[in-house]
Amino acid sequence: MSDTPAVTDSAVAERLAALALLADKLRVPSHRLTAEQCMEAQDEVRAGLRRLYKDLTGTELPREGHGGHTVQSLGQAGRCRPVVLVRDRARTRV
């Protein structure tokens, strides 16, 4: 058997509602909110979702990697070029 206690549907619904309210309150930095406050709010939602997943499945949420690409490899492959660089190159050709 699993070491985690059984989670009822009503408990899951309550936790999801609380996380949805937190997500609804997320804002971008402004004159009232610093970037740090916004990042803390995002981290709180992220941590709550990870805890809920762990409680439901009994395992940690798998963390997705960045796909094995570095910024340099993407730039060399021609798939990722900053818009400013592309505009500057176009400007010098004209």
Q: What is the pLDDT of residue 86?
A: 61
d(CA 45, CA 36): 14
* 13 and 25 both lie in a single domain: yes
d(CA 40, CA 36): 6
d(CA 40, CA 46): 10
Q: What is the pLDDT of residue 42?
A: 92
3-state helix, strand, coil in the chain (%, to 5): 60, 0, 40
Q: What is the block-wise mean pLDDT of the chain (94 residues), using blocks of 10 residues?
A: 67 91 88 90 92 90 65 54 60 60
d(CA 31, CA 11): 37
Q: Are 45 and 15 in contact (CB under 8 A)?
A: no
* 8 and 51 both lie in a single domain: yes
* 43 and 12 both lie in a single domain: yes
Q: What is the pLDDT of residue 47?
A: 92
Q: What is the pLDDT of residue 27?
A: 87
* 50 and 70 both lie in a single domain: no
Total count of domains within the chain: 2
Q: What is the pLDDT of residue 25?
A: 87
Q: What is the pLDDT of residue 84?
A: 61
Which residues span the domain enclosing 20?
1-63
